């Protein structure tokens, strides 16, 4: 019987080789594994074999059966794969099909990013009205009437002392009027200035204002927060530089530059060959602002900062004309 088994294996191997299609394979399967096939026959014979030979023969038979099964399956898969290729010559280079989804405006995208960074640093988000009283835009922020420091804050007026806010610093006052420290908040929003429109000026743009007030808030904290922000926004290698400056509502005040993200600080057209880009205004809240909202400047200190969303977005994406944001050309919108 051992010889028969070996012969069966050999004949199976050659028949398998000769199988041309799924059909002939099936007949091979029936011949060997079928209910009346060769293996079934062997099993019948096994019952009649010598008692001591039985276990070894049984083992042999099982091995063969397994082998045949595996080989047939393998061949079957081959045929299936071949048939797919044969019957459907799919041109997989044809374009894929999908339902196009839209995109957020780049300003929204960048604003979301700014918000998320500050949220992760513990800031809350607050908003205030765009149509404001003169008081909130100027006096409360220590910007006196008819002072040259107002030149930077030319304003659209509506009626009487109602105007369109020219900066989001107005919201600082509204928040401090409502709430006692601790305060840790950012205030995004639209602002308006009657500037003639060109590639770098717009009469409407977006700002994000920040304010942190508590006992013992220091200038070093301001530096720390803004350092973290610029690194997260523009990349780990970004350097931050604080330059003394002037804003009526902060003292000491600083202009914050980052190392040019275009040339890495080597100097290029974008940074006017200085290696630095002005990105933020900041400072410690002027005690006179605290007095305006009824906080004791002896008790509380704090910092404030403000940045332009358009400017940051332009730098981030290499956009060279601010008007593109408001033109909303679909070829522009699709890129973000």
Q: Which residues from 61-120 bind other proteins, rule CB under 8 A? A: 94-95, 97, 99-105, 107-108, 112, 115, 119
Q: Under the criterion CB under 8 A, does residue 227 sit at the interface with other proteins?
A: yes
Q: Identify which of residues 55 and 160 has a Cβ nearer to other proteins in the complex.
A: 160
- Kindly identify the residues of this chain, within the stretch 5-34, that bind other proteins according to CB under 8 A: none
Smallest gap from residue 192 Cβ to other proteins (A): 7
Query: Of these, 122, 177, 299, 321, which contacts other proteins (CB under 8 A)?
Result: 122
153 sits near other proteins (criterion: CB under 8 A): no
Q: Which of 22, 33, 40, 228 binds other proteins (CB under 8 A)?
A: 228
Interface residue with other proteins, options 77, 162, 199, 320 (CB under 8 A) = 162
Among candidates 124, 250, 279, which has minimal Cα distance to 186? Answer: 124
Whichever of 71 and 221 has its CB closer to other proteins, that residue is 221
C-beta of 10 vs 335, nearer to other proteins: 335
Count of residues of this chain found to bind other proteins when the rule CB under 8 A is applied: 87
Would you say how long the chain is, in residues? Answer: 336
Q: Is 238 in the site for other proteins (CB under 8 A)?
A: no
The residue behind tokens 């070829």 is 331
How far apart are the C-alpha atoms of 213 and 194, rounded to whole Å? 32
Dihedral sign computed on CA atoms, order 84, 90, 95, 99: negative
State yes or no: residue 123 binds other proteins (CB under 8 A).
Answer: yes
Work out which of 137, 170, 238, 301 binds other proteins, going by CB under 8 A: 301
**Smallest distance from other proteins to CB 332, Å:** 10
C-alpha span between 313 and 332 (Å, rounded): 13
Residue nearer to other proteins on the CB measure, 76 or 316: 316
> Is 305 near other proteins (CB under 8 A)?
no
Specify the stretch interacting with other proteins by CB under 8 A; choose among 11-19, 46-54, 82-90, 323-331.
Answer: 323-331
- Binding status of residue 180 toward other proteins by CB under 8 A: no
Q: Respond yes or no on whether the N-terminal peptide bond of residue 252 is cis (omega within 30° of 0).
A: yes
Cα separation values, 329 from 23, 105, 186, 200, 325, Å: 61, 11, 30, 18, 9
Under 8 Å between Cβ of 107 and 322: no
Site for other proteins contains 287 (CB under 8 A): yes
Tokens of 228: 């973290």
Does 142 help bind other proteins (rule: CB under 8 A)? no
- Quote the CA–CA distance of 91 and 246 in Å, as a whole number: 66
Tokens of 151: 């030149």
Q: Is 128 helix (H, G, I), strand (E, B) or coil?
A: coil
**Which listed residue (9, 76, 223, 316) binds other proteins by CB under 8 A?**
223
Candidates 37-45, 61-69, 142-150, 230-238; binding stretch for other proteins (CB under 8 A)? 142-150
Minimum gap (Å) between residue 235 Cβ and other proteins: 18
Measured between alpha carbons, how far apart are the two ends of the chain, in Å? 76
Residue pair 132/170 in contact by the 8 Å Cβ criterion:
yes
**Percent helix / strand / coil, the chain, rounded to 5:** 45, 20, 35
Select from 14-22, 41-49, 65-73, 282-290 the region that touches other proteins (CB under 8 A): 282-290
Q: Name 250's Cβ contacts closer than 8 Å, sequence gap at least 6.
A: 281, 282, 283, 284, 285, 286, 303, 304
| Residue 324 interacting with other proteins (CB under 8 A) | no
Least distance to other proteins, CB of residue 148, Å: 5
Rounded distance between C-alpha atoms, residue 124 and residue 115, angstroms: 9
Q: Which residues ranging from 259 to 278 are in contact with other proteins (CB under 8 A)? A: 272
Q: In Å, how far from its chain's centre is CA 37? A: 63
């Amino acid at each position: 019987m051992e010889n028969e088994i070996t012969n069966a294996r050999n004949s199976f191997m050659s028949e398998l080789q000769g199988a041309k299609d799924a059909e002939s394979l099936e007949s091979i399967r029936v011949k060997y594994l079928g209910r009346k096939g060769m293996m079934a026959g062997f099993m019948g014979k096994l019952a009649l074999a010598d008692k001591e030979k039985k276990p070894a023969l049984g083992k042999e038979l099982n091995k063969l059966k397994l082998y045949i099964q595996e080989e047939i399956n393998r061949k079957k898969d081959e045929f299936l794969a071949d048939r797919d290729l044969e019957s459907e010559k799919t041109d997989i280079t044809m374009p894929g099909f999908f339902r196009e989804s839209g995109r957020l405006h780049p300003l929204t995208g960048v604003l979301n990013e700014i918000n998320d960074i500050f949220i992760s640093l513990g800031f809350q988000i607050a908003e205030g009205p765009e149509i404001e009283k003169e008081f909130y835009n100027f006096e409360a922020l220590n910007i006196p009437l008819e002072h040259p420091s107002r030149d930077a804050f030319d304003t659209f007026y509506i009626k009487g002392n109602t105007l369109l806010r020219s900066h989001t610093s107005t919201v600082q006052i509204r928040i401090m009027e409502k709430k006692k420290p601790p305060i840790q908040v950012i205030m995004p929003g639209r602002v308006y200035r009657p500037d003639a429109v060109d590639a770098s000026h717009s009469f409407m743009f977006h700002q994000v204002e920040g304010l942190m007030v508590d006992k013992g808030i220091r200038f070093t904290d301001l530096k720390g927060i803004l350092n973290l922000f610029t690194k997260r926004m523009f990349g780990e290698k970004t350097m931050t530089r604080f330059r003394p400056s002037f804003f009526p509502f902060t003292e000491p005040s600083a202009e914050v530059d980052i190392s040019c993200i275009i040339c890495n600080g080597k100097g290029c057209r974008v940074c006017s060959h200085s290696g630095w880009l002005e990105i933020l205004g900041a400072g410690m809240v002027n005690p006179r602002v605290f007095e305006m909202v009824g906080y004791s400047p002896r008790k509380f200190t704090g910092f404030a900062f403000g940045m332009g969303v358009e400017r940051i977005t332009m730098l981030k994406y290499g956009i060279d004309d601010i008007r593109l944001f408001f033109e909303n050309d679909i070829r522009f919108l699709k890129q973000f």
